[in-house]
Chains A and B, each alone.
Chain A
Amino acid sequence: MMSFELNENQEMIAQMIRDFGAKEITPYRNEWDEKQFFPLELFKKLGELGLMGVLVPTEYGGSGFGYLEYVTAIVELSKLDPGVGLSMAAHNSLCTGHIMMFGSEEQKQKYLPKLATCEMLGAWGLTEPNTGSDAGNMRTVAIKDGDHYVINGAKNFITHGVSGDVAVVIARTGEVGDSHGMTAFVIEKGTAGFRGGRKEDKLGMRCSETAEMIFEDCRVHESQVLGEVGEGFIQSMKILDGGRISIAALSLGIAEGALDASLAYSKERQQFNQPINRFQGIAFKLADMATETEAARLLTFKAADLKNRGVKVTLASAKAKYYASEVAVRNANEAVQIFGGYGFTKDYPVEKYYRDAKLCTIGEGTSEIQKLVISREVLK
Chain B
Amino acid sequence: MKILVCITHVPDTTSKIQFTDNNTKFDKTGVQFIIGPYDDYALARAVELRDQTGGELTVLNVGEAETEPTLRKALAIGADKAIRVNAFPKDAYFVALQIAHYAKEGAYDLILMGRESIDFNGGMVHGMVGELLGMPSISPVMKLDIEGQSAKMAREIEGGKEYIEVDLPFIAGCQEPIAEWKIPNMRGIMSARTKPLDVVETISDETFSQVNAFQLPPAKGAVQLIDKDNVEELVRLLKNEAKIL
By a CB distance below 8 angstroms, the chain A residues around B72 are 8, 12
Residues from chain B with a CB closer than 8 A to the CB of A16 are: 183-185, 189
Is there an interface contact between B183 and A65, defined as CB atoms closer than 8 Å? no
Q: How large is the interface on A (under 10, 10 to 19, 20 to 34, 35 or more residues)?
A: 10 to 19
Q: Determine which of A13, A19, A20, A58 lies in contact with B189 in the assembled complex, contact meaning CB atoms within 8 Å.
A: A13
Contact at A54–B186, with CB atoms within 8 Å? yes
> Considering only CB atoms, which chain A residue lies closest to B32 in the complex?
A15
Q: How far is the CB of B132 from chain A (nearest CB, A)?
A: 33
Residue A245 CB within 8 A of the other chain: no
- The answer on a CB contact under 8 Å between A49 and B183 is yes
List of B residues within 8 angstroms of A196 by Cβ = none
A9 at the interface (CB under 8 A from B): yes
Q: Is B50 an interface residue (CB 8 A)?
A: no
User: What chain B residues lie within 8 Å of A54 (beta carbons)?
Assistant: 186
B69 and A8 within 8 A (CB): yes
Q: Chain B's interface: helix, strand, loop or mixed, by majority?
A: helix
Name the distance in Å between A215's Cβ and chain B's nearest Cβ.
35
A64 to B192, CA, bound (A): 13
> In the docked arrangement, what's the CA distance between A19 and B184, Å?
10
Tell me which residues across on chain B come within 8 A of A65, comparing CB atoms: 186, 190
Q: Does A50 contact B (CB under 8 A)?
A: yes
Q: What CA separation (Å) do A20 and B188 show in the bound complex?
A: 15
B190, A63: Cβ atoms under 8 Å?
A: yes
A68 to B184, CA, bound (A): 18
> Is A31 on the interface with B (CB-CB < 8 A)?
no
Q: B189 — which chain A residues lie within 8 A by C-beta?
A: 9, 12-13, 16
Given the complex, which residues of A lie within 8 Å of B76, measured CB to CB? 12
Residues in B with CB closer than 8 Å to A9 are 189-190, 193
A77 contacts partner chain B, Cβ-Cβ < 8 Å: no
List B contacts of A49 (CB < 8 A). 183, 185-186
Residue B104 lies at the interface, judged by CB distance under 8 Å to chain A: no
Q: Which of A4-32 contact B (CB under 8 A)?
A: 8-9, 11-13, 15-16, 19-20
Using a CB–CB distance below 8 Å, which chain A residues touch chain B?
8-9, 11-13, 15-16, 19-20, 48-51, 54, 58, 63-65
Pairs A–B under 8 Å by Cβ, sample size 10: A8-B69, A12-B72, A12-B184, A13-B186, A13-B189, A16-B183, A49-B185, A50-B185, A50-B186, A58-B190
